[in-house]
Amino acid sequence: MTFAAFSLRSFAVAATFATVAASASALTLPTESLQANSVQAFSEKALKQNKLLGIEVTPLGNATATATTGAYNLPVTSISVNSSLKVTSGAAVGSALEISRLNDDLVKVGITLANFKINFETHQVLADVTPFGGVTVPQQAVYTFNEATPLNLKYKFPLTITGTQLLDKLFLTPAGIAALTSALELPEFAPDLLVKTDFGTIGIEVKVGLRKPVSTRPYVPAN
């Protein structure tokens, strides 16, 4: 791609953000071709807990493991902003994490969390939740979170838009605990352990910089 083409593309993206700022309505912006990523990093406590329970996490679809143990990159495919350029939600469609273990009969059991969405208004992480061999529950609230740092989009006409944020205090919702406990066939003490566990952080970075477009097709687990 030539510099002229890159500049034109960047200008178009920047202009879109500028238009939103002047608009009275919200807008969802595609980011599959931009440098927009979210990294879920499991806490040390969560990693030890996974080891105790024999749980493994496998990235699928757009998701990839990072160089840091227990951290996974989930490319952001869209963000929704309001007229004040405040981000109301972000999506990582096409990314999935398979969470599995061997049960007492040494049979692999588990659950797939896919097509993540961060809702900044309810402070929840949502995902399509599919137990192995089961029925998908679309966009179930899996985690709650705290905004450790606010996401401020820094805009400089015409080429530069950047935004970073850190979400912490990731705790499973009651529905998330129930889904994991059932699908993973966890022991009776597990729910009391899960409800107290801070599962880590989600780091978000968005900037105007092109990448090979990631898939925006929702990830569907193989049955």
Per-residue pLDDT of the chain (223 residues; tens, 9 = 90+): 433 333 334 434 444 444 444 444 678 889 999 889 999 999 999 999 999 999 999 999 999 999 999 999 999 999 888 877 678 899 999 999 999 999 999 999 999 999 999 999 999 999 999 999 999 999 999 999 999 998 766 666 555 677 889 999 999 999 999 999 999 999 999 999 999 999 999 999 988 778 899 999 999 998 7
Q: Of 87, 9, 99, whose CA–CA distance to 63 is shortest?
A: 99
Helix (H, G, I), strand (E, B) or coil at 119: strand
Asked, for residue 189, whether it belongs to a domain, the answer is yes
Nearest-5° Cα angle at 56, 50 to 61? 135
- Domains of the chain: total: 1
Asked, for residue 11, whether it belongs to a domain, the answer is yes
Q: 33 lies in which domain range?
A: 3-210
Write the CB contacts of 144 (distance below 8 Å, at least 6 apart in sequence): 123, 124, 125, 169, 170, 171, 173
What is the number of H-type helices and E-type strands within the chain? 4, 13
Asked, for residue 60, whether it belongs to a domain, the answer is yes
